[in-house]
Chain A
Amino acid sequence: MSDDIVLETRDLTKHYGGVHALEGANFTLRKGEHVAIMGDNGAGKSTFVRQITGVEQRTRGEVIFDGKPVHFAGPLDAREAGIETVFQTLALADHLDVPDNLFLGREKTKLNWLGPFRLLDYKAMRQDTIDGLNKTGVKIPNIRNTIQNMSGGQRQCVAIARTATFHSKLTIMDEPTAALGVQETAQVENIIRTLKEDGEPLILVSHNMRQVMDLVDRIVVFRRGRMVADLKKEETDGQDIVAYITGAKTGAEFEGAA
């Protein structure tokens, strides 16, 4: 194995009781690579993401991140290791402003001997937020505004901006534009392009064929809990992918699956 692999899963499997939600997924992601995960509802996309990010515990298999086998006890472990996830349900606190949300749970503080009553370093957090937003090209009219006063697109951008602010090693986005309008979707896609230019690896879970063909280098298709295709963007097209998603075709190396 070459050492430019960021994430690798071997035989990653998840059973919910008798339901085989994910079966023997062998997946690799290289440095700077953007990979899309596609598949029908219930194909195992989200299950796959949940095993990697520690939201759930896998039944079997290995996850190798940044060269080391990892066992994340929870999403926080994964985040500390450098995997930043933008979940379908945005994990934002509505009554707090942008820096508060970016730094929630890992605030910059002063006078740390005060324990839970240590002081927040608002100034440093604001500066880091502005830097992070500039880096991703996220535009938010006023970072002191609370999340409840923001549009869906802006909220999504705030969630994504965490990635840039904390220099994560891997970003995972679970349908980031599912609930957004045309312009807001364009804004999020621009951020993804910025991440690509910066060489930040990304896993994008999406249903949007145009978006996927526009943005990523490689497309992995799941069907009924199994990986059925691993396609380079240049070597495939929309119709081909749909054939894999619906089960009309199965990749040669995945014969025998599903």
Chain B
Amino acid sequence: MADTSHGTGGLTFDKSKRSWPNELNILLALVIIIAIFEIIGQVAPYMNGQSFLFDTKDRFDSIFNEARLQIIILQVAIIGIIALGVTQVIITAGIDLSSGPLVAATAMIAMSFGQTELVNGFPNPKALFGTWAMDLPVIVPVVIGLAFGACIGAINGTFIAYFRIPPFIATLGMFLICRGIALWWSGGNPISFPTESYAWIGSGMMPVVWFIILAIIFQLIMSYTVYGKHTYAIGSNEEAARMSGINVRRHKVMVYTIAAMLAAFAGIVLSSKAVTAQAGMGEFYELFAIAMAVIGGISLQGGRGSIIGTVLGAMVLGVIRSGFTYIKLDGSYQLMAMGGIIIAAVILDQYRQRNKA
């Protein structure tokens, strides 16, 4: 090591100039945002000295306002699952717009195989298929849902990698196709009354459990496996990746397939949580998932970012949404402010990257 630690051309390495991980900045932003809401709550006269973060009900068993924290994380968990996949796609310098409608289509398809035959002793009023599709083991709707997602993702990836269609266009087409499938599947009718085991998937805090498990798995995959390394390499320099012998096309198909399977799983969790599936579900989810990734420091140019960043980005988005409601900001203002924050996040990140180089 010692022999490689000095340069001949006056090229020395300054450890102090090494920037700290991007994720720390997002964490810092998260803390600052929470602090701002906390201060507004304490100071603004119309808030009556409420607390955003802390428990104010004088209970002894908790310090934090657990109810609010639970709602925040529950709100972001399902879109967060989608964002885990979108993150991988964006790291390859691609984009996936089809995830929101894919959530709806998968919710419809999976739920139609997860219905219960009898509701309060009467036949299921929302039954889509005959009794053969009723009361199936929960593995059946889950596998069918994930397989559907895998097909959609593989088609996305094939068009992008083999037919050289820009990811934006390919997934925009798939966006419409999936919304169409969601409407066509049951002729626009909602599908309801799932089996108990199907309803368990998204019950209570289960969406958060899935989100955390999947986030940990994919953080490890992206950091420590060949799949992760090649994903970064393709986003960083696709030509170099090809020259190095990576099968870039096959790898891209794999990335889009995994992303779509995560979105499909989000659809299963969402329909289970809502105990019903509707064709209009998951509206704007694809955009919020992209926003989470972007706030989390994933560069749209590819090659840079991490799953941890996206998880933090998801938390930032969730805290902002919850905080706006907490300070009683009108819904229309919330949307405008959130849009502004997303743009500001990207500007800040680009500024930081420029200064780093």
B 1-41 contacts with A by CB, 8 A: 1, 3-13
The smallest C-beta distance from B150 to any residue of chain A, in angstroms, reads 15
Q: In the complex, which residue of chain A has the Cβ closest to the Cβ of B15?
A: A142
Assuming the contacts A95-B232, A114-B225, A118-B226, asked whether A187 and B241 have C-beta atoms less than 8 A apart, the reply is no
Other-chain residue from A93, A187, A190 in contact with B236 (beta carbon distance below 8 A): A93
Other-chain residue from B4, B11, B225, B239 in contact with A151 (beta carbon distance below 8 A): B11
Assuming the contacts A139-B6, A139-B8, A151-B11, asked whether A109 and B236 have C-beta atoms less than 8 A apart, the reply is no
Other-chain residue from B3, B7, B226, B233 in contact with A117 (beta carbon distance below 8 A): B226
Contact between chains at B8 and A93 (CB < 8 Å): no
Contact between chains at A120 and B229 (CB < 8 Å): yes
**Contact of B284 with A by CB under 8 A:** no
Contact between chains at B224 and A145 (CB < 8 Å): no
Assuming the contacts A91-B237, A141-B12, asked whether A105 and B244 have C-beta atoms less than 8 A apart, the reply is yes
**Contact of B246 with A by CB under 8 A:** yes
CA distance A189 to B245 in the complex (A): 28
Contact between chains at B11 and A141 (CB < 8 Å): yes
Other-chain residue from B9, B13, B235, B237 in contact with A92 (beta carbon distance below 8 A): B237
Q: How many residues of A contact B (CB 8 A)?
A: 46
Contact between chains at A141 and B7 (CB < 8 Å): yes
The smallest C-beta distance from A160 to any residue of chain B, in angstroms, reads 14
**Contact of A66 with B by CB under 8 A:** no
**Contact of A89 with B by CB under 8 A:** yes
- Comparing A5-13, A22-30, A178-186, A241-249, the segment that makes contact with chain B is A178-186
Contact between chains at A105 and B225 (CB < 8 Å): no
| Residues in chain B near residue A145, CB distance under 8 A | 13
The smallest C-beta distance from A115 to any residue of chain B, in angstroms, reads 9
Q: How many residues of B contact A (CB 8 A)?
A: 35
**Contact of B240 with A by CB under 8 A:** yes
| Residues in chain B near residue A105, CB distance under 8 A | 241, 244-246
Contact between chains at B8 and A104 (CB < 8 Å): no
Tell me how many residue pairs across A and B have CB atoms closer than 8 Å: 115
**Contact of B67 with A by CB under 8 A:** no
B 225-255 contacts with A by CB, 8 A: 225-227, 229, 232-233, 235-237, 239-241, 243-246, 251, 254
Assuming the contacts A133-B4, A148-B357, asked whether A91 and B226 have C-beta atoms less than 8 A apart, the reply is no
Contact between chains at B226 and A107 (CB < 8 Å): yes
The smallest C-beta distance from A173 to any residue of chain B, in angstroms, reads 15
Assuming the contacts A93-B232, A95-B303, asked whether A87 and B225 have C-beta atoms less than 8 A apart, the reply is no
Other-chain residue from B7, B241, B244 in contact with A139 (beta carbon distance below 8 A): B7
CA distance A169 to B255 in the complex (A): 35
A 110-154 contacts with B by CB, 8 A: 114, 116-120, 130, 133-134, 138-143, 145, 148-149, 151, 153-154
**Contact of B221 with A by CB under 8 A:** yes
Contact between chains at A96 and B225 (CB < 8 Å): no
Assuming the contacts A95-B235, A139-B4, asked whether A107 and B303 have C-beta atoms less than 8 A apart, the reply is no
The smallest C-beta distance from A54 to any residue of chain B, in angstroms, reads 11
Contact between chains at A94 and B237 (CB < 8 Å): yes
**Contact of B126 with A by CB under 8 A:** no
| Residues in chain A near residue B303, CB distance under 8 A | 93-95
The smallest C-beta distance from B80 to any residue of chain A, in angstroms, reads 22
**Contact of B68 with A by CB under 8 A:** no
| Residues in chain B near residue A117, CB distance under 8 A | 221, 225-227
The smallest C-beta distance from A47 to any residue of chain B, in angstroms, reads 18
CA distance A95 to B222 in the complex (A): 14
Contact between chains at A118 and B5 (CB < 8 Å): no
Other-chain residue from A107, A143, A148 in contact with B229 (beta carbon distance below 8 A): A107
CA distance A184 to B5 in the complex (A): 16
| Residues in chain B near residue A153, CB distance under 8 A | 9, 11
Other-chain residue from A119, A134, A154, A184 in contact with B3 (beta carbon distance below 8 A): A134
Contact between chains at A134 and B229 (CB < 8 Å): no
CA distance A79 to B243 in the complex (A): 10
Q: In the complex, which residue of chain A has the Cβ closest to the Cβ of B238?
A: A93
A 226-240 contacts with B by CB, 8 A: none
Contact between chains at A93 and B237 (CB < 8 Å): yes
Give 14 A-B pairs besides A76-B243, A79-B245, A92-B240 with Cβ atoms closer than 8 angstroms. Answer: A76-B244, A87-B243, A91-B244, A95-B235, A95-B303, A95-B304, A105-B241, A107-B229, A116-B226, A117-B226, A140-B4, A153-B9, A181-B9, A183-B8
Q: Write the residues of chain A forming the contact surface with B, with a CB cutoff of 8 angstroms.
A: 75-76, 79, 87, 89-96, 100-101, 104-107, 109, 114, 116-120, 130, 133-134, 138-143, 145, 148-149, 151, 153-154, 181, 183-184, 186-187, 190
Q: Return 29 A-B CB contacts under 8 Å, by A number.
A: A75-B245, A76-B243, A76-B244, A91-B239, A91-B243, A91-B244, A93-B232, A93-B236, A93-B241, A95-B303, A95-B304, A96-B232, A96-B236, A100-B229, A100-B233, A101-B240, A104-B229, A116-B251, A119-B225, A120-B226, A130-B1, A139-B3, A139-B7, A140-B7, A141-B6, A141-B13, A151-B9, A183-B8, A183-B10
Q: Write the residues of chain B forming the contact surface with A, with a CB cutoff of 8 angstroms.
A: 1, 3-13, 221, 224-227, 229, 232-233, 235-237, 239-241, 243-246, 251, 254, 303-304, 357
